[in-house]
Amino acid sequence: MAEQYEFEILQSRPVEAEPDRADSIRRLNNRQVSATLGDFKDSAQYYQPDEALITAINMALAVGAPLLVTGEPGTGKTQVAHYLAWYFGIPVYEYTVRSTSESADLKYDFDAVRWLRNAHQQELINNPITEQQRPLEKRDCLDKRALWHAYECESQCVLLIDEIDKAPRDFPNDLLQELDKHEFADPLDQARKIKAHNPQQPPIVVITSNAERRLPDAFLRRCIYHFIELDAALLSRAVEARVGDFPHLDVASRDLAVEKFLELRDIQTLVKKPATGEILIWLNILSAQGVNAEQFRVEQLSELPAIRALIKDQDDFKKL
Protein backbone atom coordinates (compact mmCIF):
# COMPACT_ATOMS: atom_id res chain seq x y z
CA MET A 1 0.00 0.00 0.00
CA ALA A 2 1.25 3.48 -0.83
CA GLU A 3 2.71 5.55 2.00
CA GLN A 4 0.05 7.81 3.47
CA TYR A 5 0.65 11.54 3.67
CA GLU A 6 -0.86 14.24 5.85
CA PHE A 7 -4.22 15.52 4.64
CA GLU A 8 -4.06 18.74 6.69
CA ILE A 9 -1.52 20.57 4.52
CA LEU A 10 -2.89 23.93 5.67
CA GLN A 11 -3.29 24.03 9.44
CA SER A 12 -4.98 26.46 11.78
CA ARG A 13 -2.74 28.56 14.05
CA PRO A 14 -3.00 31.20 16.77
CA VAL A 15 -2.82 34.80 15.55
CA GLU A 16 0.57 35.39 17.17
CA ALA A 17 2.16 32.15 15.94
CA GLU A 18 4.26 31.92 12.81
CA PRO A 19 3.84 28.74 10.75
CA ASP A 20 6.73 26.31 10.63
CA ARG A 21 7.80 27.08 7.07
CA ALA A 22 10.01 24.02 6.67
CA ASP A 23 7.30 21.64 7.87
CA SER A 24 4.52 23.35 5.92
CA ILE A 25 6.43 23.26 2.64
CA ARG A 26 7.27 19.61 3.31
CA ARG A 27 3.57 18.81 3.61
CA LEU A 28 2.81 20.87 0.51
CA ASN A 29 5.49 19.08 -1.51
CA ASN A 30 4.23 15.71 -0.28
CA ARG A 31 0.68 16.00 -1.60
CA GLN A 32 -0.36 13.43 -4.20
CA VAL A 33 -2.81 14.67 -6.83
CA SER A 34 -4.20 12.21 -9.37
CA ALA A 35 -2.64 12.92 -12.75
CA THR A 36 -5.73 11.76 -14.64
CA LEU A 37 -8.69 12.89 -12.52
CA GLY A 38 -9.37 16.13 -14.38
CA ASP A 39 -7.91 15.33 -17.80
CA PHE A 40 -10.16 13.71 -20.41
CA LYS A 41 -7.25 12.53 -22.54
CA ASP A 42 -5.24 10.94 -19.73
CA SER A 43 -8.28 9.38 -18.04
CA ALA A 44 -9.74 7.93 -21.26
CA GLN A 45 -8.13 4.55 -20.60
CA TYR A 46 -10.21 4.18 -17.42
CA TYR A 47 -13.55 4.80 -19.11
CA GLN A 48 -15.89 1.79 -19.01
CA PRO A 49 -18.77 2.06 -21.52
CA ASP A 50 -21.64 -0.35 -20.99
CA GLU A 51 -23.01 -2.63 -23.71
CA ALA A 52 -25.80 -0.22 -24.66
CA LEU A 53 -23.32 2.59 -25.31
CA ILE A 54 -20.99 0.27 -27.23
CA THR A 55 -23.94 -0.74 -29.42
CA ALA A 56 -24.85 2.91 -30.07
CA ILE A 57 -21.24 3.69 -31.01
CA ASN A 58 -21.11 0.77 -33.43
CA MET A 59 -24.42 1.87 -34.98
CA ALA A 60 -23.02 5.36 -35.55
CA LEU A 61 -19.81 3.95 -37.04
CA ALA A 62 -21.75 1.62 -39.33
CA VAL A 63 -23.73 4.40 -41.02
CA GLY A 64 -21.35 7.34 -40.55
CA ALA A 65 -23.90 9.25 -38.46
CA PRO A 66 -23.12 11.55 -35.52
CA LEU A 67 -23.51 9.97 -32.09
CA LEU A 68 -25.63 12.22 -29.87
CA VAL A 69 -24.92 11.43 -26.22
CA THR A 70 -27.23 12.95 -23.62
CA GLY A 71 -27.61 12.74 -19.87
CA GLU A 72 -27.19 14.83 -16.77
CA PRO A 73 -23.86 16.64 -16.22
CA GLY A 74 -21.09 14.43 -14.90
CA THR A 75 -22.15 11.13 -16.46
CA GLY A 76 -19.15 10.86 -18.81
CA LYS A 77 -20.61 12.15 -22.08
CA THR A 78 -17.55 14.14 -23.11
CA GLN A 79 -15.34 11.23 -22.14
CA VAL A 80 -16.94 9.10 -24.89
CA ALA A 81 -15.09 11.05 -27.61
CA HIS A 82 -11.76 10.88 -25.81
CA TYR A 83 -12.28 7.17 -25.12
CA LEU A 84 -12.78 6.52 -28.84
CA ALA A 85 -9.66 8.54 -29.65
CA TRP A 86 -7.67 6.51 -27.10
CA TYR A 87 -9.19 3.16 -28.12
CA PHE A 88 -8.38 3.62 -31.81
CA GLY A 89 -5.22 5.68 -31.32
CA ILE A 90 -6.52 8.59 -33.40
CA PRO A 91 -6.68 12.38 -32.81
CA VAL A 92 -9.70 14.20 -31.40
CA TYR A 93 -10.71 17.72 -32.46
CA GLU A 94 -12.91 19.45 -29.93
CA TYR A 95 -15.30 22.40 -30.03
CA THR A 96 -17.14 23.47 -26.88
CA VAL A 97 -20.39 25.22 -27.71
CA ARG A 98 -21.28 28.55 -26.09
CA SER A 99 -24.53 30.48 -25.87
CA THR A 100 -23.24 32.82 -28.61
CA SER A 101 -21.93 30.11 -30.94
CA GLU A 102 -22.70 30.11 -34.65
CA SER A 103 -22.13 27.20 -37.00
CA ALA A 104 -19.23 29.07 -38.63
CA ASP A 105 -17.38 29.02 -35.28
CA LEU A 106 -17.10 25.25 -35.57
CA LYS A 107 -15.37 25.63 -38.96
CA TYR A 108 -13.20 28.75 -38.82
CA ASP A 109 -12.52 32.10 -37.19
CA PHE A 110 -11.76 35.22 -39.22
CA ASP A 111 -9.72 37.83 -37.36
CA ALA A 112 -11.41 40.94 -38.75
CA VAL A 113 -9.56 43.26 -36.35
CA ARG A 114 -6.19 42.03 -37.57
CA TRP A 115 -7.29 42.39 -41.19
CA LEU A 116 -8.53 45.98 -40.74
CA ARG A 117 -5.43 46.96 -38.77
CA ASN A 118 -3.22 45.59 -41.55
CA ALA A 119 -5.19 47.46 -44.23
CA HIS A 120 -4.83 50.70 -42.25
CA GLN A 121 -1.09 50.21 -41.82
CA GLN A 122 -0.63 49.64 -45.55
CA GLU A 123 -2.33 52.95 -46.27
CA LEU A 124 0.18 54.74 -44.01
CA ILE A 125 3.26 53.37 -45.77
CA ASN A 126 4.79 56.24 -47.81
CA ASN A 127 7.38 54.19 -49.63
CA PRO A 128 6.09 50.63 -50.25
CA ILE A 129 9.35 49.70 -51.99
CA THR A 130 11.23 49.79 -48.69
CA GLU A 131 8.60 47.79 -46.88
CA GLN A 132 10.02 44.31 -46.28
CA GLN A 133 6.96 42.69 -44.80
CA ARG A 134 4.54 41.09 -47.22
CA PRO A 135 1.06 42.63 -46.90
CA LEU A 136 -1.37 40.28 -45.22
CA GLU A 137 -3.91 38.46 -47.32
CA LYS A 138 -7.37 37.62 -46.03
CA ARG A 139 -6.43 33.95 -45.72
CA ASP A 140 -3.66 34.96 -43.31
CA CYS A 141 -6.39 36.12 -40.92
CA LEU A 142 -8.36 32.89 -41.20
CA ASP A 143 -7.91 30.37 -38.39
CA LYS A 144 -9.16 26.83 -38.91
CA ARG A 145 -11.37 25.35 -36.22
CA ALA A 146 -12.30 21.81 -35.17
CA LEU A 147 -14.46 20.78 -38.15
CA TRP A 148 -11.94 22.08 -40.71
CA HIS A 149 -9.08 20.27 -38.97
CA ALA A 150 -11.14 17.07 -38.79
CA TYR A 151 -11.91 17.17 -42.52
CA GLU A 152 -8.28 17.82 -43.41
CA CYS A 153 -7.00 15.05 -41.13
CA GLU A 154 -5.44 12.35 -43.29
CA SER A 155 -6.09 9.65 -40.73
CA GLN A 156 -9.31 8.66 -39.05
CA CYS A 157 -10.22 11.09 -36.27
CA VAL A 158 -12.89 12.07 -33.77
CA LEU A 159 -14.81 15.35 -33.88
CA LEU A 160 -16.33 16.36 -30.54
CA ILE A 161 -19.10 18.98 -30.44
CA ASP A 162 -19.56 19.46 -26.72
CA GLU A 163 -22.76 20.74 -25.01
CA ILE A 164 -24.67 21.58 -28.17
CA ASP A 165 -27.82 22.39 -26.18
CA LYS A 166 -26.14 25.63 -25.03
CA ALA A 167 -26.18 27.05 -28.57
CA PRO A 168 -28.91 29.15 -30.21
CA ARG A 169 -31.60 27.04 -31.90
CA ASP A 170 -30.28 27.73 -35.41
CA PHE A 171 -26.85 26.28 -34.59
CA PRO A 172 -27.81 22.57 -34.99
CA ASN A 173 -29.92 23.24 -38.10
CA ASP A 174 -27.05 25.13 -39.74
CA LEU A 175 -24.90 22.00 -39.49
CA LEU A 176 -27.27 19.72 -41.42
CA GLN A 177 -25.36 19.86 -44.71
CA GLU A 178 -22.03 19.27 -42.99
CA LEU A 179 -23.46 16.25 -41.21
CA ASP A 180 -25.01 14.83 -44.38
CA LYS A 181 -22.44 15.61 -47.07
CA HIS A 182 -19.32 15.98 -44.94
CA GLU A 183 -18.33 19.23 -46.63
CA PHE A 184 -18.70 22.99 -46.39
CA ALA A 185 -17.81 26.00 -48.55
CA ASP A 186 -14.49 27.77 -48.14
CA PRO A 187 -15.48 31.14 -46.61
CA LEU A 188 -13.06 33.00 -48.92
CA ASP A 189 -13.92 30.98 -52.04
CA GLN A 190 -17.50 29.74 -52.11
CA ALA A 191 -16.79 27.59 -55.20
CA ARG A 192 -14.21 25.60 -53.26
CA LYS A 193 -15.45 22.89 -50.91
CA ILE A 194 -13.70 21.76 -47.76
CA LYS A 195 -14.42 18.02 -47.75
CA ALA A 196 -13.64 15.10 -45.52
CA HIS A 197 -10.28 13.63 -46.51
CA ASN A 198 -11.97 10.28 -47.07
CA PRO A 199 -15.76 10.65 -47.61
CA GLN A 200 -16.16 6.88 -47.24
CA GLN A 201 -14.65 7.11 -43.75
CA PRO A 202 -15.68 10.53 -42.42
CA PRO A 203 -14.68 11.75 -38.95
CA ILE A 204 -16.34 10.01 -36.02
CA VAL A 205 -18.66 12.74 -34.75
CA VAL A 206 -19.63 12.74 -31.07
CA ILE A 207 -22.12 15.38 -29.94
CA THR A 208 -23.01 15.85 -26.28
CA SER A 209 -26.03 17.48 -24.69
CA ASN A 210 -27.10 18.01 -21.09
CA ALA A 211 -30.70 17.92 -22.37
CA GLU A 212 -31.36 21.43 -21.09
CA ARG A 213 -33.62 21.99 -24.09
CA ARG A 214 -34.97 19.95 -27.00
CA LEU A 215 -32.94 19.88 -30.20
CA PRO A 216 -34.59 20.38 -33.63
CA ASP A 217 -36.24 17.30 -35.15
CA ALA A 218 -34.32 17.62 -38.42
CA PHE A 219 -31.08 17.50 -36.47
CA LEU A 220 -32.15 14.58 -34.29
CA ARG A 221 -33.14 12.59 -37.37
CA ARG A 222 -29.53 12.56 -38.55
CA CYS A 223 -28.08 11.30 -35.27
CA ILE A 224 -27.77 8.02 -33.42
CA TYR A 225 -29.14 8.84 -29.97
CA HIS A 226 -27.94 7.46 -26.64
CA PHE A 227 -28.86 8.47 -23.09
CA ILE A 228 -26.39 7.76 -20.29
CA GLU A 229 -28.18 7.00 -17.05
CA LEU A 230 -26.26 7.50 -13.84
CA ASP A 231 -27.17 4.33 -11.95
CA ALA A 232 -25.44 1.99 -9.52
CA ALA A 233 -23.90 -0.05 -12.33
CA LEU A 234 -22.28 3.00 -13.93
CA LEU A 235 -20.91 4.14 -10.57
CA SER A 236 -19.53 0.70 -9.85
CA ARG A 237 -17.67 0.58 -13.17
CA ALA A 238 -16.28 4.09 -12.71
CA VAL A 239 -15.09 3.45 -9.16
CA GLU A 240 -13.54 0.05 -9.92
CA ALA A 241 -11.70 1.48 -12.91
CA ARG A 242 -10.15 4.24 -10.77
CA VAL A 243 -9.54 2.25 -7.60
CA GLY A 244 -5.82 2.97 -7.79
CA ASP A 245 -6.56 6.65 -7.15
CA PHE A 246 -7.69 5.96 -3.57
CA PRO A 247 -5.02 3.61 -2.15
CA HIS A 248 -5.77 4.41 1.51
CA LEU A 249 -9.47 3.56 1.28
CA ASP A 250 -10.23 -0.07 2.07
CA VAL A 251 -12.91 -2.04 0.24
CA ALA A 252 -15.46 -1.81 3.07
CA SER A 253 -15.07 1.96 3.31
CA ARG A 254 -15.29 2.33 -0.46
CA ASP A 255 -18.48 0.26 -0.63
CA LEU A 256 -20.07 2.29 2.17
CA ALA A 257 -19.09 5.52 0.42
CA VAL A 258 -20.84 4.40 -2.78
CA GLU A 259 -23.89 3.34 -0.75
CA LYS A 260 -24.12 6.76 0.94
CA PHE A 261 -23.59 8.48 -2.40
CA LEU A 262 -26.58 6.65 -3.87
CA GLU A 263 -28.64 7.67 -0.83
CA LEU A 264 -27.79 11.27 -1.58
CA ARG A 265 -28.87 10.91 -5.19
CA ASP A 266 -32.18 9.40 -4.09
CA ILE A 267 -33.17 12.67 -2.41
CA GLN A 268 -35.57 14.05 -4.99
CA THR A 269 -35.53 17.62 -3.70
CA LEU A 270 -31.83 18.23 -4.29
CA VAL A 271 -31.22 21.02 -6.81
CA LYS A 272 -27.74 19.80 -7.79
CA LYS A 273 -27.28 16.07 -7.42
CA PRO A 274 -23.67 14.85 -7.33
CA ALA A 275 -22.55 12.82 -10.34
CA THR A 276 -19.66 10.57 -11.37
CA GLY A 277 -17.05 13.33 -11.27
CA GLU A 278 -18.00 14.24 -7.71
CA ILE A 279 -17.80 10.70 -6.33
CA LEU A 280 -14.33 10.16 -7.82
CA ILE A 281 -13.11 13.41 -6.26
CA TRP A 282 -14.82 12.51 -2.97
CA LEU A 283 -13.15 9.09 -2.84
CA ASN A 284 -9.78 10.73 -3.52
CA ILE A 285 -10.35 13.06 -0.55
CA LEU A 286 -11.52 10.23 1.71
CA SER A 287 -8.41 8.27 0.81
CA ALA A 288 -6.20 11.26 1.60
CA GLN A 289 -7.96 11.67 4.95
CA GLY A 290 -7.53 7.99 5.78
CA VAL A 291 -11.26 7.58 6.43
CA ASN A 292 -12.44 4.22 7.78
CA ALA A 293 -15.77 2.43 7.57
CA GLU A 294 -16.83 3.52 11.07
CA GLN A 295 -16.90 7.18 9.96
CA PHE A 296 -19.74 6.45 7.53
CA ARG A 297 -22.07 5.38 10.34
CA VAL A 298 -23.67 8.80 10.82
CA GLU A 299 -27.18 9.83 11.80
CA GLN A 300 -27.49 12.40 9.04
CA LEU A 301 -25.95 12.48 5.58
CA SER A 302 -24.74 16.02 6.28
CA GLU A 303 -22.32 14.49 8.82
CA LEU A 304 -20.52 12.38 6.22
CA PRO A 305 -16.80 13.15 5.98
CA ALA A 306 -15.92 15.72 3.29
CA ILE A 307 -19.62 16.06 2.35
CA ARG A 308 -18.95 19.49 0.83
CA ALA A 309 -17.14 17.76 -2.02
CA LEU A 310 -20.52 16.33 -3.05
CA ILE A 311 -23.03 19.05 -2.18
CA LYS A 312 -22.48 22.26 -4.16
CA ASP A 313 -25.62 24.16 -3.17
CA GLN A 314 -26.20 25.65 0.29
CA ASP A 315 -29.95 25.00 0.20
CA ASP A 316 -29.24 21.36 -0.68
CA PHE A 317 -26.92 21.13 2.33
CA LYS A 318 -29.67 22.46 4.60
CA LYS A 319 -32.06 19.82 3.22
CA LEU A 320 -29.76 17.07 4.44
* Distance in angstroms (rounded) separating the CA atoms of residues 82 and 182: 21
Check residue 2 and give its pLDDT.
44
> Whole-prediction pTM value?
0.82
Query: Average pLDDT over the chain, rounded to whole?
Result: 86
103 vs 228 pLDDT, higher one:
228
Convert the pLDDT of each residue in 165-178 to its tens digit. 999 888 998 888 88
pLDDT category at 129 given cuts 50, 70, 90 is very low
Residue 123 pLDDT > 60: no
The CATH homologous superfamily for domain 40-109+141-227 is P-loop containing nucleotide triphosphate hydrolases (3.40.50.300)
Residues 6+ apart with CB under 8 A from 63: 224
Name the residue ranges covered by the structural domains of the chain: 40-109+141-227, 231-319
Q: Residue 236 CA to chain centroid, in angstroms? A: 21
Strands 92-96 and 158-162: parallel
pLDDT category at 258 given cuts 50, 70, 90 is very high
Segment 91-109 shows an average pLDDT of 92
